[in-house]
Amino acid sequence: MPGNDARLGWLGTGRMGAAMAARLIDAGHRVTVWNRTKPKTAPLAARGATVAGRLTDLGGCDIVFVTVSGPADLAEVVMGEHGLLSGPRCPPVIVDCSTVSAETSAAVRAAARRAGAGFLAAPVSGNPHVVAEGGACVVASGPAEVFGRVRPYLEQIAKVAVYAGPEEQARLVKLCHNLYLGMMVQALVEVTSLAEKGGTDRAAFLTFLSGTVVGSDWVRKRSGDLAGCDWTPTFTTDLLRKDFDLGLAAARALEVPMPVGSLVHQLIQSAIGTGARGKDLLSLYEQQARNAALGPAAE
């Protein structure tokens, strides 16, 4: 029963999933939730959600959203022995909002299709806090008709819900986002070190840059960390490199040259080779400052 009044299921109520499901519940939708460790569903139950006894009970919903922590989990909760497709009823639509590879996505999609379910890959940009405030963005791919049915709900979850294409395009778009982030960070550390060696205080420079039209929320939020050389991990150089590995492999397959993307990939590799492994991606500054002979990066 589609439309704006579908019965919704939510599989996986970790921090992200809970924040997203909460927005649907608060908007008045009927949401049935399930989580491997049941106590995590309590806050949503308090908010009005029904808690499913078994994962397969979600098969009775019109649309089941999935938010799990990676490809192996996604495969298991959908295609596994006790997964969503193993139950007596299969939901007509499954929407995966996790961050998984295009390969896993395609495999799960194929399994869903064989079981008669439409599958939407719908990764989310934004952390739980951003989601809660309605500031998240979703990019979705799968059959256009499936997107049409899910769209009203995505738009309640996020401020932007974009359709990227009929297959795994949403995964590539997410990689593009992270490639762009990596390039932006390298650009940032280059100009920051230049201004700094020219005599401008790092924090002052970042305040200026953040305030102008080229400033982004990301730069604004992280300026303090960069100014203070705080490399506490939020997104490590290694994870960033992995996204560059995947993104550049996709570019190669599609025969799209990525001159700057590719150079940044190598610079990340150099940074990892000289001590940035496991540090936040902002630590690209350390390599840049060292190469610019800027003296101790952090006083």
> Quick check: 75 binds a second copy (CB under 8 A)?
no
Q: Is residue 54 a contact partner of residue 27, using CB atoms and an 8 Å limit?
A: no
User: Please, which of residues 125-164 interact with a second copy by CB under 8 A?
Assistant: 125-126, 130, 137, 139, 141, 159-160, 162-164
Provide the terminal-to-terminal Cα distance of the chain, rounded to the nearest Å.
62
> Quick check: 95 binds a second copy (CB under 8 A)?
no
Q: Are strands 137-141 and 124-125 parallel, antiparallel or unpaired?
A: antiparallel
Q: CB under 8 A: which stretch of 9-17, 59-67, 70-78, 200-208 binds a second copy?
A: 200-208
- Cβ closer to a second copy: 13 or 186? 186
> Quick check: 169 binds a second copy (CB under 8 A)?
yes
Structure tokens, 222? 């992280």
Question: Minimum distance from CB of 168 to a second copy (Å)?
Answer: 9
Query: How many Cα neighbours within 13 Å face the side chain of 59?
Result: 19
Burial status of residue 233 (CB atoms within 10 A of its CB: 0-12, 13-18, 19 or more): middle
Q: CB under 8 A: which stretch of 22-30, 48-56, 105-113, 291-299 binds a second copy?
A: 291-299
Among 70, 252, 278, 298, binds a second copy (CB under 8 A): 252
Residue type, 87: G
Q: CB under 8 A: which stretch of 18-26, 144-152, 206-214, 228-236 binds a second copy?
A: 206-214
> Quick check: 297 binds a second copy (CB under 8 A)?
no
Q: Is residue 114 a contact partner of residue 84, using CB atoms and an 8 Å limit?
A: no
In which region does residue 200 sit, left (phi positive, over 0), alpha (psi from -120 to 50) or beta (all else)?
Answer: beta
Interface size with a second copy, residues (CB under 8 A): 81
> Quick check: 225 binds a second copy (CB under 8 A)?
no
Three-state SS annotation for 257-296: CCHHHHHHHHHHHHHHHHHHCCCEHHHHHHHHHHHCCCCC
> Quick check: 87 binds a second copy (CB under 8 A)?
no
Among 50, 86, 101, 262, binds a second copy (CB under 8 A): 262
> Quick check: 292 binds a second copy (CB under 8 A)?
yes
